[in-house]
A and B are shown apart, each in its own frame.
Chain A
Amino acid sequence: MLNRYPTWKNALILLVVLLGFLYSVPNIYPDDEAIQISADSLALNESDMVAITTAMEAAQVEFFGEEISEDSILIRLNSVEDQLVAKTAIEDALTDDYIVALNLAPTTPAWLQAIGAGKMNLGLDLQGGVHFLMEVDMDAALERRMEDNVSNVRSILREERIRTRGTNVVDNAHLEIRFANTESRSDARSVLVENFPDLQFQNRELNDLMILDLRTPPEIILQIQRDTLQANRTTIMNRVDALGVAEPTVQQQGSDRIVVELPGVQDPAQAIRFLQRIATLEFHLEANPGAPSASYETYEYQGLLVDVDNEVILQGDRVSNVRSTLDQNGLPQVQINLDAQGGTQINRVTRDNVGRMMDILLSETRSRSIISTDENGEEFEDVEFYEDKRLISHATIRTALPRTFVITGLTAREANGLSELIRSGSLAAPMTIVEQSVIGPTMGRENLEQGIMGVQVAAVLVVIFMLFYYRVFGVAANVALIMNILLIFAVMSTIIPATLTLPGIVGIVLTVGMAVDANVLIFTRIREELSNGMPPQQAIDSGYNRAFTTILDANLTTFLVALVLFSIGTGPVKGFAVTLMIGIITSMFTAIVGTRALVNLFYGGRSVQKLSIGRYRLPT
């Protein structure tokens, strides 16, 4: 029994430790408070920089490390107080085309940044973040529902060959259908009642016309609003999740508002750009040639002018899933899944229109600052919201479309872009940002400092105990423990860009406990083998081997639990699960392979009479 690791194994361990050290080291460089200036449409240049630095000097704020790039200027400051003063000063100096945001700038040395090493993101509870209040346009939601109804009513009546004298939308909850005689009205009524069980029907006569009124009852309107809010919330939640912001908060407020909190995001400008991408989606047919000009609008698509019919054949909220995939020939395509009603709707329209083009319109609500004049003739700044519609897909209908269909003839990049756009547009109703703020990092920093202090003291106590209880083997365990923490930090900073939160810190604490546990298991086994009279070298080998199964079983089951929590949970549960999973993997490596390498280095390859592993009962 030699207990020696081959050179390659030692080299591999050394390499892992080195990488762990390199990639965790950026975390000890504290961020500088900074101000970030960006402009939506124009590129930034040196003259902006001069204007900004002059404003800062005038406000007597010390700054350093100015950086300028195509789309942003970053200026470092000494303190949080300076940040607020500087922000106001710069905002006053620049026009409204610029966005001035509080930010944190990394101080990681350039060579570390060059190898891709960065800091771990900290959660809202540890460092603050961006807070948005968004308002859902409920009128638009009802209007869209009405458009949907009109389109459905028309195609149902067409299908049943019931002739009408037209339909008229009175308001968002009231639709009237005109008929020439009572027979067609009663036919229509009996068909429609079946298809629209939620609506109230009423007959009415007006100047020879037989009218059927379809009204949405108040409780259904409430239901629509509630569903809309819920649907928007879910979409935002999914999108924020996809962004990689860990532990975001997306909560309802009142009857038509949603609060979005993005921890770790210190750049509201970027977050706004992202959230303003929130858009709605509409499926249309291309207008027939020679159609009256009031019935279509013209959009540009890849340099082509396309006339798009005004009638909405399908709303974006019917889209249940979309992704870009490859067809059987390996060509990129976008696969769209609709819900049941959407499927029926699109099938009904497309089967009569094979060969025609189907268009997808994306409408985004954006905001811009405008200068208005109030009643006293004074100018004031106001925010105006406007709708920006564009054509994102123009494709031929090849067949009557089922619930799941594909759009082909795209490049891989186009397919990815389109699926992303469609996904961003499957919101139930448009939203606007009515309030935004950045949550100050002071309170978070306090939480973080205390949390880390607690963990440090704990680690020191554990290290002392292990040293006292297991002597030389304790040293090995302690080195492994430190290695383990470094590796967790390295993985969380680089490989899996996770956000560290308080629950995440608990996860680390737990893994630190478990990493020590693995060593305790191994060392007690070695002591037992020694007590049973096994020679030291053999006892080491046997101890490691026998404890391995136990450690594997214990860690695997815990890993499974973490995996379930990760796949099912959101927010804090997910954050906890991620750190736990990372910790289990790294601790298995350090506690088993790492300590073994150290023990081998110390005891391996020579004759040993006694092991320094604390007191054990000698064999009798």
Chain B
Amino acid sequence: MRDRKEIDFMGIRKIAAVISAVLAVISVISLAVNSLQFGLDFTAGTSVRLEYQETVVLDEVNETLAANGYQDAVVVSFGSDREIRVILPVDDETLIEDQASEAVLVGETIATLLSDANDNEVLLLGSDYVSAKVGEELAEQGGMGMLVALGIIMVYIAVRFQFKFSVGAVIALAHDVLITLGIFSLFGIEFNLNTLAAMLAIIGYSLNDTIVVSDRIRENFRRMRKGTPIEMVNTSLNQTLSRTLITSFTTLLVLFSVLLIGGETTQGFAVALIIGVVIGTYSSIYIASNIILFMKVTREDLMVPVREDAELDGLP
């Protein structure tokens, strides 16, 4: 801390709370209205397998499909340089019993389309309806996993710190994930398996940040003899500020280089993580501490029970 003057973070805590609440509400509304743009990992689709007589260039296939209204088609090479698989999303409206015949129809359309596009003759090997890759199972597991993880974190923090800190950390986590999802929904960014992994990474990152701040708050509550809770939280935030900023800066450095160089496939989660890190940094300053203050944390909450040597370090 080169500058002695402390920034009064908690002075605008009410404003911060209002901003967060507004963002959360917007996120919930957007998620309810727009839902998420699920990628093919999560939705059902039609898989069309095609064989060319000569080597095929995937980009050309992509262009041909996009030019004919199949912008969402995913083209992958399949087994050899002459065989490809085109995956198309299916709209939910299609009845289950119609999906098979629908798939055949789509397959024929695509094959004709690509045959007409150039001299390279196309053979339709087959088209099938593909169920959601991760679908319900992952959604179930993911939801359950989140809940169990949140539960365990709450218990751990309650034991290591105090129950009020548990609430702060968990609300900060929920805040970060909700608003990141909200931004995804609002701007129609595709949500796929990679972005799901990014969501999990955000949880890890945000938690890390919150714990570091909480740790300092705990320490200062134990050591400082004077000052109101708000002052002590402010001091703690100021003491950890340079670390918070440096870590966020290095992480963003990493993420931006992944975004700019890492290729198309990694772009999704780079974007998700960048949003998450920015929100995570904000929430570790304003949300977790705000909740702790709101729950009226006191020095007694954090005192080491009957330990005379507590002033040594204040840490067990």
Contact = CB atoms under 8 A, between A and B. Distances in A.
Nearest to A459: B254
Contact of A580 (B81, B130, B204): B204
Nearest to B277: A513
Interface string A517-530: 10011001000100
Contacts of A257: 128
Interface residues of A, number: 77
Interface centre among B138, B156, B203, B247 (most CB of A within 10 A): B247
A573 B1 contact: no
Interface stretch (B21-29, B176-184, B265-273): B265-273
B100 interface: yes
A325 interface: no
Interface string A421-462: 000000000000000011110110011001101110111011
B130 A251 contact: yes
A253 interface: yes
Interface string A215-253: 000000000000000000000000000000000010111
A539 to B, nearest CB: 15
Contact of B145 (A439, A573, A580, A617): A573
Contacts of B152: 560-561, 564
B3 to A, nearest CB: 8
Contacts of A450: 261-263, 265-266
Interface stretch (B190-198, B290-298, B301-309): B190-198
A502 B266 contact: yes
A615 B242 CA distance: 13
A314 interface: no
Given A573-B200, A615-B2, A550 B205 contact: no
B153 A458 contact: no
Interface stretch (A44-52, A333-341, A483-491, A551-559): A551-559
Given A251-B133, A561-B203, A573-B197, A506 B269 contact: yes
A510 B269 CA distance: 12
Contacts of B4: 617
B239 interface: yes
Interface in A504-518: 505-507, 509-510, 512-514, 516-517
A440 B79 contact: yes
B138 A528 contact: no
A569 B215 contact: no
Interface stretch (B60-68, B106-114, B206-214, B224-232): B206-214
Contact of A576 (B201, B212, B250): B201
Contact of A520 (B138, B142, B247, B266): B247
A14 interface: no
B212 to A, nearest CB: 6
A560 B83 contact: no
B57 interface: no
A131 B49 CA distance: 13
A513 B205 contact: yes
Interface in A526-572: 528, 531, 545-546, 549-550, 553-558, 560-562, 564-565, 568-572
Nearest to A510: B201
A442 B196 contact: no
A568 B146 CA distance: 9
Contacts of A385: none
B123 interface: no
Contact of A550 (B204, B212, B313): B212
Given A446-B263, A510-B201, A564-B149, A439 B78 contact: yes
A249 B133 contact: yes
A465 B204 contact: no
Contact of A458 (B1, B156, B169, B254): B254
Secondary structure call for the B interface: helix
Contacts of A443: 76-77
A570 B204 contact: no
A386 interface: no
A442 B77 contact: yes
Contact of B257 (A439, A461, A553, A564): A461
A139 B159 CA distance: 57
A84 interface: yes
A616 interface: yes
Contacts of B149: 560-561, 564-565
Given A454-B266, A570-B141, A509 B77 contact: no
A524 B134 CA distance: 44
B117 interface: no
Given A453-B261, A561-B207, A568-B144, A528 B239 contact: yes
A125 interface: yes
Contacts of A461: 253-254, 257
Contact of B153 (A259, A521, A557): A557
Contact of B265 (A447, A549, A568, A573): A447
A252 B136 CA distance: 12
B243 interface: yes
A93 to B, nearest CB: 19
A503 interface: yes
B31 interface: no
A512 B254 contact: yes
A573 B142 contact: yes
Interface of A: 81, 84, 125, 131, 249, 251-255, 257, 259, 437-440, 442-443, 446-447, 450-451, 453-455, 457-459, 461-462, 465-466, 469, 502-503, 505-507, 509-510, 512-514, 516-517, 520-521, 524, 528, 531, 545-546, 549-550, 553-558, 560-562, 564-565, 568-573, 576-577, 580, 615-617
Given A439-B78, A545-B313, A561-B200, 15 more contacts: A84-B80, A131-B79, A253-B129, A437-B79, A440-B78, A447-B266, A453-B262, A454-B263, A465-B250, A465-B253, A503-B197, A553-B215, A565-B200, A571-B138, A580-B204
20 contacts: A254-B100, A440-B78, A454-B260, A454-B261, A457-B261, A465-B253, A469-B246, A513-B254, A528-B1, A549-B315, A550-B212, A554-B208, A554-B212, A557-B156, A561-B153, A561-B207, A568-B148, A573-B141, A573-B200, A576-B201
